[in-house]
Structure 1
Amino acid sequence: MSALSDLLSEQTDLGSDAAAHLQQLVGDWQILADLAFADLLLWVRTRDGELLCVGHVRPTTAPTSHPIHEVGRRVPAGELSWLDRALTAGGMIRDRDPEWGNGIPIRPEGIAVRHAGRVIAVLGRDTNLQAPRSPSEMELAYLDAAGELFHMVTEGSLPTPEGGSSDPLGPRVGDGFLRLDTTWVVRYASPNGLSAFRRMGLTADLVGRELAEVGRSLIAAWNGGDVSESEPDAIRRIRTALAAATPQTGEFSAGSVTVAYRIIPLSRRATSYGCVVLLRDMTDLRHRDLALQSKDVSIREIHHRVKNNLQTVAALLRLQGRRMHHPAARKALAESVRRVSSIALVHETLAASRDGSADLDGILDALIPMISDVSASRPGVRIERDGHLGELSAELATPLVMVLTELLHNAVEHGYAERDKGQVVITAERILGRLTVRISDDGRGLPQGFSLEASDSLGLQIVRTLVESEMRGSIRLTRRRAGPSDSGTEAVLTVPLPR
């Protein structure tokens, strides 16, 4: 649960629906704070009758009124009278005289938060009066829109059932602001809002024109078409949202410029008061996205080519092995084929990956039949996987797959030299940032006096080098249980995972 949910459940009697309403309000109230040039504090009545601050947001358009975060502050009933009156009366109450806090003069206001017909909380709208401003046209437009939105909060129509936009990359007040009347004509455009349309090619004034028609004309001009042609889908969605007075977010493009928009309808007592449209020029961001996508495609293509080249190398080694008459040379080439093929499996997986990570479970499931084919002289030995290795980066996946290949091959070839049947089990678990893989067999076990450090086996030397040098991990080979020589072997591999 979030801090807000914790405070509401521990300190109040508000139900889940009311708590969800407040969560939705807090998730999208940065817009309210920016338009109001004020800190917003969310207050609720506790079980013992006090007022408790459970939320605090500062404006990005004005100095803060509260340098110290107010969440958790408790106030006895009656101490902040405007908040108590707003909770009781259910409207917006402004205190006559400024309050002082931390040496800052504050104009306080209480705004009732209504849900399902009852007041469940109150917003404290605290404006910093320390830096007096002469109201500009933009400030007046912001404050007017803020007033309409606060009225919707007191009526219970904000936040809307459709939800707000908590996307950190979505349009914000400072990115671009338009105020539309009930006929969807632009009555005010902030400098940044106007700049977005200028970049799309608008040369005339935006104020006094119908928004959807402006967008349609710009797109048609860039496409070399006539304005009378059928509307683009993006403009049709905007027009539909405006006509239905429903919130909407989306993007539309004219030429090489892409603009994200958010439509916030304004209403009072079910009567439309136009809407606010927030804009953000996303052109640079979209160009970076395309560059990243192109880079990802190139990387996947490289993995695909590496996989093909490795498979070619494996095929050449396999052909050379068939020409060898010396058993030791043939065996060495077969082991090389197995090692190269295991690396090719990793690159095959990475070639299909969208995020540069390798699915170790899928690789291992493909690796097991390959080990069984190489060890055809042991058809009765079964290899099973229990648990999930998950996804790893290419830097970890490649050495890990090589290690697992060596260990599985050793288990099948050397653990069952005198038997035709057996079982090798691979178990894996991720705990506290570490991946632990166990490979257990019921074969003949390790020879007396075995030491991994002293072993002259090329495969085990490769395993030890990869684990300790490439993966910064550890490996341990032991008998599965005390007893006769037929006790089996267990290899335990532990690898730290990147945070």
Structure 2
Amino acid sequence: SYPFVDNGGGTIAVIAFVGAVEDNREILTETAFLSLQVPMDFHSMYRPLSIQDGVVLVNCNGVVIYADDMADSILHMCGQHGAITGTNIYNTRLDLTGAKKALSQATGLTDDVTFGEAVVSRRVIPILQRGKVRRVISILTERTELHRKEEELMVKTSVIKEIHHRVKNNLQTIASLLRMQMRRTTSEEARDVLKESLNRILSISLVHETLSHHDEENIDISDVAQKLLGLLAHSLVSKDCHVETEFSGEILPLPSDAATSLALVLNELITNAIIHGFEGRSQGTLSITIRRDGDTGLILVCDDGVGMAQAPVDTGRKHLGMAIVRTLIEKDLQGAIAFDDGMPEGTVVTIRFPLPERGE
């Protein structure tokens, strides 16, 4: 181990060699010392090395003065022939190390390059003294297989997003057909049933629309809930009643199936609050709160309407909506739901459900 000292004689760094490095010790020690004086512009490029990284050192004349075994293997795989150390980078048209650009422009670079079928990540750091490049450190990492898997993943992700987009379009087509049927029917009861079905379809469509814009299968239920609240409030509130909506939610990512179930649950609860809770009133407030409570998700739907005890008694449709809510929460989400009176009036609906462990 060798210490590096500042102008005052204090040790500021230590370089340690392990193994047979006697032949290259002086070059490596000098490079390490020079790299400590690198301008701040390049400090972001300094990161720990792994066993998959190969290191190449090139002097100001373009001569390779050092290449470790991993770098030697990577360069030969990319088409370099013969010994690496001692060669001049300007004697070949390929800039495998990236040092040509670093020497000519006195700037570092980080990129992925393809040589034949090989894909190599490069991190090229010039060491400057008085504005001129004294030496170039080139760190090479072979990532052909990883690159191939990333491309496959990108293709699969694009296909999945396209599927969600098409499902969303199909659901919106069905919603359009229901709207046409609503306009043609003369039965008020049939119109209400079609409108309820329409809102349920739009709730599912909203989840697929969100998924079509995300790279992951997990989506933020708060984002879906906020959009759903605005959508239903706009379509359901009558002209005779002004309903103020409030939303408070922290980011709560959930799998798509759980998000779909909760979207349907929220659709039923918001619909009931607007249609039944504020019936006969000129104004009201409807709020949704979503947050994490330990390993449990917590959703509160609150209104200051007439309350469940005084809400108009509906026929089987209202009971169907509540049956849907309980089934989705208890069976699909393994959660629980509670209905309580608001203070001083209205209804508070509390939903609790276990959150999936991170990584699921």
Identify whether the pair has TM-score above 0.5, normalized to the shorter chain.
Answer: yes
Q: SS where residue 209 of structure 1 aligns?
A: coil
Q: Which residue of 2 aligns with 1:74?
A: none
Q: Is the 8 A contact 1:387 1:428 kept in 2?
A: yes
The partner residue of 2:28 within 146, 160, 163 is: 146
Q: Deviations over 1:174-196 (max 9, x none)?
A: 53232323312124434432332
The reply to whether residue 495 of structure 1 matches residue 353 of structure 2 is: yes
**1:479 CA drift (Å):** 0.5
Which whole-Å CA distance do the structure 2 matches of 1:359 and 1:322 have between them? Answer: 35
Amino acid paired to 1:292: L
The reply to whether residue 337 of structure 1 matches residue 198 of structure 2 is: yes
Could you list the runs of 5+ residues in structure 2 that have no partner in the other structure? 311-316
Q: SS where residue 401 of structure 1 aligns?
A: helix
Q: Which residue of 1 aligns with 2:77?
A: 199
The partner residue of 1:444 within 306, 318, 321 is: 306
Amino acid paired to 1:162: F
Q: Which residue of 2 aligns with 1:352?
A: 213
Which shifted more, 417-426 or 287-296?
Answer: 417-426
Q: Deviations over 1:234-287 (max 9, x none)?
A: 95xx42423566554333323332212233556899997634422111222222
Q: SS where residue 305 of structure 2 aligns?
A: coil
The partner residue of 2:10 within 96, 112, 119 is: 119
Q: Which residue of 2 aligns with 1:404?
A: 266
Q: Is the 8 A contact 1:475 1:492 kept in 2?
A: yes
Which whole-Å CA distance do the structure 2 matches of 1:442 and 1:338 have between them? Answer: 23
Question: Residue 377 and residue 387 in structure 1: after superposition, are their counterparts in 2 closer, same or farther (change >3 A)?
Answer: closer
**1:344 CA drift (Å):** 0.3
Q: Is the 8 A contact 2:15 2:29 kept in 1?
A: no
Q: Which residue of 2 aligns with 1:480?
A: 342
The reply to whether residue 186 of structure 1 matches residue 64 of structure 2 is: yes
Which whole-Å CA distance do the structure 2 matches of 1:166 and 1:271 have between them? Answer: 19
Q: SS where residue 212 of structure 2 aligns?
A: helix
Question: Residue 149 and residue 269 in structure 1: after superposition, are their counterparts in 2 closer, same or farther (change >3 A)?
Answer: farther
The reply to whether residue 256 of structure 1 matches residue 138 of structure 2 is: no
The partner residue of 2:275 within 406, 413, 428 is: 413
Amino acid paired to 2:273: A
Amino acid paired to 1:370: L
Q: Which residue of 1 aligns with 2:314?
A: none
1:448-459 correspondence runs (5 A): 457-459=319-321
**1:315 CA drift (Å):** 2.2
Q: SS where residue 281 of structure 2 aligns?
A: coil
Q: SS where residue 345 of structure 1 aligns?
A: helix
Amino acid paired to 1:241: A
Q: Deviations over 1:430-470 (max 9, x none)?
A: 3434432222111111218xxxxxx9711111111212222
The partner residue of 1:424 within 282, 286, 294 is: 286
Which whole-Å CA distance do the structure 2 matches of 1:167 and 1:474 have between them? Answer: 48
Q: Deviations over 1:370-412 (max 9, x none)?
A: 3235425365241412322425232332111111111110001
Q: Which residue of 2 aligns with 1:88?
A: none
Q: Is the 8 A contact 2:226 2:247 kept in 1?
A: no
Amino acid paired to 1:295: K
Q: Deviations over 1:303-323 (max 9, x none)?
A: 001101111222223333444
Q: SS where residue 447 of structure 1 aligns?
A: coil
Q: Which residue of 1 aligns with 2:236?
A: 375
Q: Is the 8 A contact 1:172 1:279 kept in 2?
A: no
Report the TM-score when normalising by structure 2: 0.81
Question: Residue 307 and residue 123 in structure 1: after superposition, are their counterparts in 2 closer, same or farther (change >3 A)?
Answer: same
Which whole-Å CA distance do the structure 2 matches of 1:391 and 1:293 have between them? Answer: 24
Q: Which residue of 1 aligns with 2:176?
A: 315
Q: Is the 8 A contact 1:378 1:412 kept in 2?
A: no
Report the TM-score when normalising by structure 1: 0.61
**1:340 CA drift (Å):** 0.7
Paired-residue identity, %: 30
Q: Is the 8 A contact 1:202 1:218 kept in 2?
A: no
Question: Residue 358 and residue 272 in structure 1: after superposition, are their counterparts in 2 closer, same or farther (change >3 A)?
Answer: closer
1:26-65 correspondence runs (5 A): none
CA RMSD between the two structures: 3.6
Please say which structure displays the higher CA radius of gyration: 1
